[in-house]
Amino acid sequence: MNLETLTQVNIERAARRPVFVVTDVSNGEQRMVKAADLAGDPLEAELRKQLRMGKSAMIEADGKKLFVNVYAPVARMVIIGAVHISQALAPMARSLGYDVTVVDPRTAFASPERFPDVRVVAEWPDVALPPLNVDHYTAFVAVTHDPKIDDPALLHAFERDCFYVGALGSRKTHAKRVDRLKAQGASDNDVAKIHAPIGLPIGAISPGEVAVAIMAQITAQLRLPKEGAS
């Protein structure tokens, strides 16, 4: 790889734009393709497929074996609620490579002492969320249990098409939440995206165990093949 390509790849990644490096492994010939330049690329269909799967792979084209390396943006996690579960979840997500931000307007909860080394924003979601540039590559977790905080945050997550949206609460709590969100303009599709009760069913009891259940569910959402995707 030449330095120019490497520098460009790093710039694209810093800007959270997907980028591909296509290498002929028989001779080292290489080119970079930015997501914005995909339209009309001779390998457009193949590259789009690899991006959708978030997977790097060998492909064959024109009798050549080419390696397509997909550099998709680093996943982020936004946690609404600086609660006990979040104290376990934030460091776990960080060790898996996520950029983590915790949002909670209650300053007694959102203190740096409770969340060492994690970005904590002690503001209401309407103030805290827009500057975070929440995007598709974001796992969005709402665990305050307080509709005044969780509901507006979830509406923001729908708008930004987060790959994972989860919210704490029993089936009964969730049914009420669905009604409230719909009354505020959320579609059936939006509310169907919410994982609630949150986390894989592993019988979690302690905050740490609930964090494991949530993290496992997010990982499954990120990595398992999507239904209907080829």
Partner 1 sequence: MLERDEDILQAAEEWKKAGHGVALATVVETWGSAPRPAGSNLVINDEGTFLGSVSGGCVEGAVVTEALDIIASGQPKLLEFGVADETAFNVGLSCGGTIRVFVEKVA
Question: Within 10 Å of residue 182's Cβ, how many Cβ atoms?
Answer: 13
Q: How far is the CB of 111 from partner 1 (least distance, A)?
A: 21
- Is residue 12 a contact partner of residue 57, using CB atoms and an 8 Å limit? no
Contact pick of 17, 67, 123, 207 for partner 1 (by CB under 8 A): 67
User: Is residue 34 at the binding interface for partner 1, with CB under 8 A as the rule?
Assistant: no
- The residue range among 3-11, 150-158, 161-169, 180-188 that interacts with partner 1, by the rule CB under 8 A, is 3-11
Give CA angle at 102 (100, 104), nearest 5°: 170
Give the DSSP per-residue string, 128-194.
HSGGG---TTEEEEE-S--HHHHHHHHHHHHHTT-SEEEE---HHHHHHHHHHHHHTT--HHHHHTE
User: Is residue 127 at the binding interface for partner 1, with CB under 8 A as the rule?
Assistant: no
User: Is residue 28 at the binding interface for partner 1, with CB under 8 A as the rule?
Assistant: yes
Could you check whether the bond before residue 42 is cis, i.e. omega within 30 degrees of 0? no
Q: How far is the CB of 26 from partner 1 (least distance, A)?
A: 8
User: Is residue 6 at the binding interface for partner 1, with CB under 8 A as the rule?
Assistant: yes
What DSSP designation does 105 have? S
If the CB atoms of residues 45 and 57 are measured against partner 1, the closer one turns out to be 57
Q: Give the binding site for partner 1 (CB under 8 A).
A: 1-3, 6-7, 9-10, 13-14, 23, 25-28, 30, 55-58, 67, 69-71, 74, 94-95, 97
